[in-house]
Amino acid sequence: MNLDDYRTLFASMSLVLILIATVPVIDLVMPFSENGESFSELWLLGPTHMAEGYPFNVGVGEGYSVFVGVGNRMGRSEYYTVYVKFRNQTQPLPDVSGSKPSPLSPLYEFRFFVADGETWESLLIFEILDASVHGDFMFVGNISINGIVFSVDSLSMRDSENNGFYYQLFFELWLYDVATQSFQYHDRFVGIWLNVTAS
Amino acid sequence: MNIFEIKRLCDVDSMSFSKLFFVLFVLFVFVGPIFVSKTFGADSENVVASVIEKAENSVVSAYEAILDAEQIGANVSDLLAQLNVAGICLANARAFYALGDFENATHFANLCYDIGEEVRSEAVELKNEVHKLWVNAIWLRMTTSIVGVIFVVFLSFLVWGIFKRRYQKRILGMKPEVVSGES
């Protein structure tokens, strides 16, 4: 190696050290700790707080419980709403392909804030208060969710294939958008099927 | 006098007046409350809706204040926990409003508003406190970087100078050797 080669080597090493010295300032402009993909999680657990034992055969006047949870991986604290909706087999679910929520009105809602990397969970206790069978149809009048009574007035036709009257209790996740100052559907929903039996 | 002739007011006897008054009174007593309650009902519904909207705005302002504080590195977990209570109140207020229970709806909305305002002011205070530390941290980082760069440049020249001198001395100290060729 001649002197010019050594000069190049020294200059390169100096530049690397200068770059290391400027890391604290570069981190201010382009934070290194920023996560890649930002997303939220939505889940539903059974009464034993496990992914099993979900209520399915549901009688009138009996209380059933599930846990609904949300995880925040959005990179900052978020303001969420979970809408609880009730439908029969023919009423629409959220549109998965179009990222649109179900047009059904929510019965109940949870509003909460979750810090980045944290989770939120809440117990939901529901009870079918009145249901009556009229031939091949079932009419569910009222449902109680966490102690508040809601009128659903929902008619369901007997499912001859699965032998029962089926309804679905489902949960939609909405996220508050600071730019539009409103909640937007966050393209996530979970639900459980209920085979309602009138006593 | 023709029996089909309409009586003039002065001809109407006191008995007819009392009948007319009675009929109007009955109408007022039985039908009036319906209109009155509907009017007041609609009014109270609007009032409750505006109270809920005020509570919602309060929660959103608190959330935005928390985001500002979080952006400069403040620990906002306590504030979020407080705001979650406001969220529960707001959800209850909206549920009771939808069910027509305006008393409970107002109660929860007012509670939500109070919590929201409290959290907002705490978040602003926190942001102001953390902002000073944040500015100091930025100055510290910039100073560290500048001092670091100056140190590296100075050190590089120093080391290069020493190295260059030694290198030249080593080259100059070399004696040429005559190697006998094979041919």
More confident residue, A193 or A23: A193
Residue B151 with chain A: CB contacts under 8 Å: 21
Q: Which of B84, A42, A71 is nearest to B76 (CA)?
A: B84
Smallest Cβ distance to B152: which of A18, A79, A108?
A: A18
Å between B153 CA and nearest CA of chain A: 7
* A40-56 confidence digits (pLDDT tens): 999 999 999 999 999 99
Mean pLDDT over residues A128-140, rounded?
Answer: 93
Check CB contact under 8 Å for B152 and A148.
no
State the count of interchain CB pairs (< 8 A) between A and B.
Answer: 92
* B72-107 confidence digits (pLDDT tens): 889 999 999 999 999 999 999 999 999 899 999 999
Q: Which residues contact A171 (CB under 8 A, 6 or more apart)?
A: A42, A44, A68, A82, A83, A84, A85, A189, A190, A191
Å between B145 CA and nearest CA of chain A: 5
Contacts with B, A 108-127, CB within 8 Å? 108-115, 118, 120
Q: What is the mean pLDDT of chain B?
A: 84
Check CB contact under 8 Å for A6 and B66.
no
Under the banding of pLDDT at 50, 70 and 90, the label for residue B7 is low
Check CB contact under 8 Å for B80 and A110.
no
Q: CA–CA separation, B57 vs B55, rounded Å? A: 5
Check CB contact under 8 Å for A115 and B76.
yes
Residue A7 with chain B: CB contacts under 8 Å: 160
Under the banding of pLDDT at 50, 70 and 90, the label for residue B47 is very high
Residue B101 near residue A151 (C-beta atoms within 8 A): no
* Sign, CA torsion A50/A92/A102/A186: positive
Q: How many other C-beta atoms lie within 10 A of the C-beta of residue A53?
A: 12
B36 touches chain A (CB under 8 A): no
B96 touches chain A (CB under 8 A): yes
Q: Is the pLDDT of residue B152 over 70?
A: yes
Q: What is the mean pLDDT of chain A?
A: 92
Mean pLDDT over residues A100-108, rounded?
Answer: 94
In the prediction, which pLDDT does A156 show?
93
Q: Maximum CA pair distance of chain B?
A: 168
B88 touches chain A (CB under 8 A): yes
Q: Is the pLDDT of residue B36 over 70?
A: no
Residue A98 near residue A166 (C-beta atoms within 8 A): no
Under the banding of pLDDT at 50, 70 and 90, the label for residue B121 is very high
- 3-state secondary structure (DSSP) of residue B79: helix
Domains of chain B from N-terminus onward: 29-133 (1.20.140)
Q: CA–CA separation, B10 vs B16, rounded Å? A: 12
Q: CA–CA separation, B52 vs B60, rounded Å? A: 12
CA distances from A27 to A30, A37, B131 (A): 5, 19, 18
More confident residue, B133 or A102: A102
Residue A166 near residue A174 (C-beta atoms within 8 A): no
ipTM of the complex: 0.80
Q: Which residues contact B160 (CB under 8 A, 6 or more apart)?
A: A7, A10
A185 touches chain B (CB under 8 A): no
Q: CA–CA separation, B146 vs A44, rounded Å? A: 52
Please state the separation of Cα B76 from the chain's center in Å: 13
In the prediction, which pLDDT does A34 show?
60
Spell out the alpha helix ranges (H) of chain A. 3-21, 23-29
Q: Is the pLDDT of residue B9 over 70?
A: no
Q: Is the pLDDT of residue B10 over 60?
A: no
More confident residue, A2 or B29: A2
B152 touches chain A (CB under 8 A): yes
